[in-house]
Amino acid sequence: MRRLHRKPILSPPLDPAKLRILVYINTWGGTVKKTTKVFKALSDETRVRILKMLETRPLCVCEIQYVLKGSQPNVSHHLKTLYEAGLVESKKDGLWIAYRLPEKPETPFHAAALTLLRKSLVADETVKRDKTVVSSVNRIEITCRK
């Protein structure tokens, strides 16, 4: 029987930010449930778009709804998922509740995930378009139109 000598398959080197996430997953001491919530939150395109919008400034549900052209219950559901995962914070702002990225993430794992997200999708057309609309949207005008 003849043996085939195969060259080992080498994977490309990991991006340092991705490597940090893998290290934090193994060392942060969180539960499987908490880790799963973060990955679940990041696995949806709409939630990633919301997080990228929140890099610009804090936004209320009506502003996010305006940019996404979605329903209020749908946007609220996505924000609840992001909030429960520890990826957004909320603060009452007069009549509105403003959502923003956390100033101090819960854990190094959350910090690494948010850092990786900040560095990702910079050239994506959808993200660029969302950020352009966010810069011109005004919650008072949106409320007055209804």
CATH number of 30-145: 1.10.10.10
Residue 100's beta-bridge partner residues? Answer: 89
Distance CA 48, CA 61 (A): 15
Read off the pTM: 0.76
User: How confident is the prediction along the chain (146 residues), in pLDDT tens digits per residue?
Assistant: 555 555 555 556 666 666 666 665 565 556 677 778 888 999 999 999 999 999 999 999 989 999 999 899 999 999 999 999 999 999 998 888 999 999 988 888 888 889 888 888 888 899 999 998 888 887 766 665 65
Q: What's the 3-state SS for the chain?
A: CCCCCCCCCCCCCCCHHHHHHHHHHHHCCCCHHHHHHHHHHHCCHHHHHHHHHHCCCCECHHHHHHHHCCCHHHHHHHHHHHHHCCCCEEEEECCEEEEECCCCCCCHHHHHHHHHHHHCCCCCHHHHHHHHHHHHCCHHHHHHHC
138, 125, 133: which is closest to 69 by C-alpha? 133
Residue 90's beta-bridge partner residues? Answer: 99
List the structure tokens of 74. Answer: 């749908």
